[in-house]
Amino acid sequence: MTSAGKVLYLVVCGAGPAGEIGTLVGLARQHGWIPQVVATPAALAFIDVPELERLTGRPIRSRYRSPDEPKPPRADAVIVAPATFNTINKFAQGIADTYALGVLAEAVGLGIPVVVLPFVNSALAGRLPFRQSVDRLREEGVSILLGPGAFEPHPPNGEAAPPPWHLTLTELARLSAKPHK
């Protein structure tokens, strides 16, 4: 699969770096994707909606459509960044109580590539439910960019490095180059 002209959903969660999601929009464009931002309700407090709509030329989606609204175009691939403790745990359990989680739940079932860039501190990352969520999602084929060489959790109340946004697109390119089973 090449990315040219394909729709990439960027699922943004409620964590500090959500305010920098414009960086990922720009990188996605450079890789040939058409970015569509999907925000969790919590993420709306962190992002500049009008600016992102101007950047992407598309409305930000953050809620399920009404039954009489047309279906949006389906994603060809999905990136979740920054991915919160909350969304990762709910995603692993198949909870779909936000539009973003609904997109993720269906994407895995449809075999659409999903890449997750977590942004959690070490207190949250060390919790058993989180570690189990990461393992379960990986078992289902979701790429979680967590660990050495990817996102490494920062200490609680400590300084956090900027997220390695570019790794999400490198990972998608790697997945796309793999022959489909």
Ligand X SMILES: Cc1cc2nc3c(=O)[nH]c(=O)nc-3n(C[C@H](O)[C@H](O)[C@H](O)COP(=O)(O)O)c2cc1C
Which spans of this chain sit near ligand X (rule: CB under 6 A)?
Answer: 13-16, 40, 42-43, 84-87, 98, 119-120, 124
Q: Please tell me the distance from the alpha carbon of residue 24 to that of residue 43, in angstroms, as a whole number.
A: 15
Residue 138 CB, nearest approach to ligand X (Å): 18
Query: At closest approach, how far in Å is the CB of 168 from ligand X?
Result: 16
Among residues 56 and 87, whose Cβ is nearest to ligand X?
Answer: 87
As measured in angstroms, the least distance from the Cβ of 86 to ligand X is 4
Which lies closer to ligand X via its Cβ, residue 3 or residue 38?
Answer: 38
> What is the smallest separation between the CB atom of 29 and ligand X, expressed in angstroms?
24
Closest approach of ligand X to the CB of residue 121, in Å: 7
- DSSP labels, the chain: ---TT-EEEEEE-SSGGGGGHHHHHHHHHHTT-EEEEEE-TGGGGTS-HHHHHHHHSS--B-SPPPTTSPPPPPPSEEEEEEEPHHHHHHHHHT---SHHHHHHHHHHHHT--EEEEE--BHHHHTSHHHHHHHHHHHHTT-EE-BSTTSB-PBPTTS--PPP-THHHHHHHHHHHHSPP-
Measured from each CB, the residue nearest to ligand X is 14
Give whichever of 47 and 172 is closer to ligand X, judged by the CB atom: 47
Nearer Cβ to ligand X (9/119): 119
Looking at the Cβ atoms of 3 and 99, the one nearer to ligand X is 99
